Structure 1
Amino acid sequence: MHRNISKRLTMYRYLERDVAELDPPAAFLIAAMRVWVGAATRARCPRAALRPLFDRHGVADVLPDFGIVMAALATDGLANLHFAPDGWKIVRDDEAILLGLFDAAVSPDPAAVYRIAAALVADDAVNYLARAAKLVAASLACGTTLRAGERP
């Protein structure tokens, strides 16, 4: 089970929302999470499956970091996370938690991302997860080609 996570987290602004209503970076992250999980469960290379999406939106440089985030959750996670299949219209609980992680990664409180990471993964993976999430979030905050109204 997840360690206690504060209810002040930004995940609640995403929970059970329609993906079409999300801002473009959040919708991109939902699509990327679902593609990664779909590829991994079909024994395909998640990085190869994600490459076109990351290339198309100008954030290919953080594809390895996104892979670190997802791999840390898969191998060192404190709980099994559940993701909706690609095309599902609603943000699931665990997807909302991860969007909160990425929000915290660019928040004014530098410790926020580490607190959330500590609630998600084993102690020895917290720094890896937090650092990778910070790189991905920073790239999406300033480097993505996603624009308002555009979908991944």
Structure 2
Amino acid sequence: MYDYLDRPVTSLDHGGRFLVWSTRSWVKAVGERQCPASAIARAFDKWNMVAGLQPFLRMMALFNRHGLENFQFCALQCNHVSEHEAIIIALVSASRGNGRIPVRGTLDLLVEEDAVGDLFASIASLGQAMALAGLVPVRTGADADEIEGKPETPMP
């Protein structure tokens, strides 16, 4: 998580940016009483992530309904990664073997016990879809700002 926390969104790879944009867009849609799937489906299609849409929606719903604390997400325009955004990126990355955190143990600290299994499965499915799309977030290094080919603005 600390690899992502308080970093500029522009320093993240495409997978990290995709997750930040998706979580923020989900929160914005729910806050505006709109269907979050409708708000993000087009971007999921554009990034070959259709297989990840349902696991993502389930993950966010589980965090929302069963979280042990209120998750905080930044506004779409914010260029810094919040704590909970960093946690989600780290969990998805770790689900594919790219992280240094035990996913299931971390989930025990984030959600009610009854939701851990479903949330773990959702994150694993999302990670698999991101791998198939070539979007698995990877740990960022000090030279992450020099990654070639990154767009200047956050996703979609």
TM bracket (short chain): 0.7 to 0.9
* Residue 76 (structure 1) aligns with: 66
* Residue 150 (structure 2) aligns with: 149
Query: What count of residue pairs does the alignment treat as equivalent?
Result: 141
Q: Which of 21, 27, 31 lines up with 1:41 in the alignment?
A: 31
Cα drift, residue 142 of structure 1: 2.8
SS at match of 2:72: coil
TM-superposition CA deviations, 1:76-113 (whole Å, max 9, x none): 0000000001121000111111111112211279x922
Q: How does 1:14-93 map to 2 (within 5 A)?
A: 14-93=4-83
Cα drift, residue 15 of structure 1: 0.6
CA RMSD of aligned residues (A): 2.0
The answer to whether the Cα contact below 8 Å between 2:14 and 2:135 also exists between their aligned partners in 1 is no
One-letter amino acid of the structure 1 residue matched with residue 150 of structure 2: G
Determine the C-alpha separation between the residues in 2 that align with 1:18 and 1:81. 19
Determine the C-alpha separation between the residues in 2 that align with 1:141 and 1:113. 17
TM-superposition CA deviations, 1:119-145 (whole Å, max 9, x none): 111001001111111111122123247
Determine the C-alpha separation between the residues in 2 that align with 1:46 and 1:68. 11
The answer to whether the Cα contact below 8 Å between 2:8 and 2:79 also exists between their aligned partners in 1 is yes
State the 4+ residue runs in structure 1 displaced beyond 2 angstroms. Answer: 144-148
Determine the C-alpha separation between the residues in 1 that align with 2:18 and 2:132. 14
One-letter amino acid of the structure 2 residue matched with residue 68 of structure 1: R
* Residue 96 (structure 1) aligns with: 86
Determine the C-alpha separation between the residues in 1 that align with 2:53 and 2:95. 16
One-letter amino acid of the structure 1 residue matched with residue 46 of structure 2: R
Residues 29, 108 of structure 1: alpha-carbon distance in 2 compared, 3 angstrom cutoff: closer
TM-superposition CA deviations, 1:4-51 (whole Å, max 9, x none): xxxxxxx00001000011011011000000000000011000011011
The runs of 5 or more residues in structure 1 that have no matched partner are 1-10
- TM-score normalised by structure 2 residue count: 0.84
Residues 95, 108 of structure 1: alpha-carbon distance in 2 compared, 3 angstrom cutoff: closer
Determine the C-alpha separation between the residues in 2 that align with 1:142 and 1:148. 20
SS at match of 1:12: coil
- TM-score normalised by structure 1 residue count: 0.86
